[in-house]
A and B are shown apart, each in its own frame.
Chain A
Amino acid sequence: DTAVSQTPKYLVTQMGNDKSIKCEQNLGHDTMYWYKQDSKKFLKIMFSYNNKELIINETVPNRFSPKSPDKAHLNLHINSLELGDSAVYFCASSPNSGDAFFGQGTRLTVV
């Protein structure tokens, strides 16, 4: 059983489109995150939710909107996609012990 799963794995879309990435964890963790890994492999936190409540919102454009329908899901919706949004987006969950379990990543390519 996959602990943290993201869909889709690959996403190619045109500029200006709106897209969503879904994330689900079956570990019973309270905290979930979205991280962005850019072309230089830099990993940066975007959002964090704890028990469906937003607790971290880094300086991310408001075109990015996370949604957590329940503790096991944290989806990422992106409006008006731009070329610079191309990256690998990682979902993660944490048992509040400091470490995190990551999904396999979603490679987003905006053309």
Chain B
Amino acid sequence: AQRVTQPEKLLSVFKGAPVELKCNYSYSGSPELFWYVQYSRQRLQLLLRHISRESIKGFTADLNKGETSFHLKKPFAQEEDSAMYYCALSRRVTDKLIFGTGTRLQVFP
């Protein structure tokens, strides 16, 4: 069965510190991988997807098929990055999203 694991429930850093939110997945095929973000009192929204290989709000994520990981990174955290982050997997473009349990990022001033 497909599974997405986010080992950290909470990650606290100070402003300006590097951030890495971990995500590991289990799926035998070639998955589509995403990071979603939910700011306080706002809807869940797509942050980035692995096939785009883009940087959004300074965040990047590289798919490592050998380690089955898709960690989210940002070199210098900002206070406005504080939010709930979900890693998600889709088996194919028309399939549902399978979410990890989420990591709450707190960035202190």
Contact = CB atoms under 8 A, between A and B. Distances in A.
A and B bound?
Answer: yes
Interface of A: 4, 31, 33, 35, 40-45, 48, 50, 56, 90, 92, 96-105
A63 B8 CA distance: 34
B96 interface: yes
A56 B99 CA distance: 15
A43 B102 contact: yes
A101 B51 CA distance: 17
Most buried by B among A48, A102, A103: A102
Interface of B: 32, 34, 42-46, 49, 51, 84, 86, 90, 92-99, 101-102, 104
Contacts of B90: 98-99
A105 B38 CA distance: 11
B98 A99 contact: no
A96 B51 CA distance: 14
8 contacts: A35-B99, A43-B44, A97-B93, A98-B34, A98-B92, A104-B43, A105-B43, A105-B44
B70 to A, nearest CB: 13
Nearest to B92: A98
A105 B40 CA distance: 12
Nearest to A43: B99
Nearest to B32: A98
A100 to B, nearest CB: 6
A98 B34 CA distance: 9
Contact of B49 (A48, A96, A98, A102): A98
A93 to B, nearest CB: 12
A71 B49 CA distance: 25
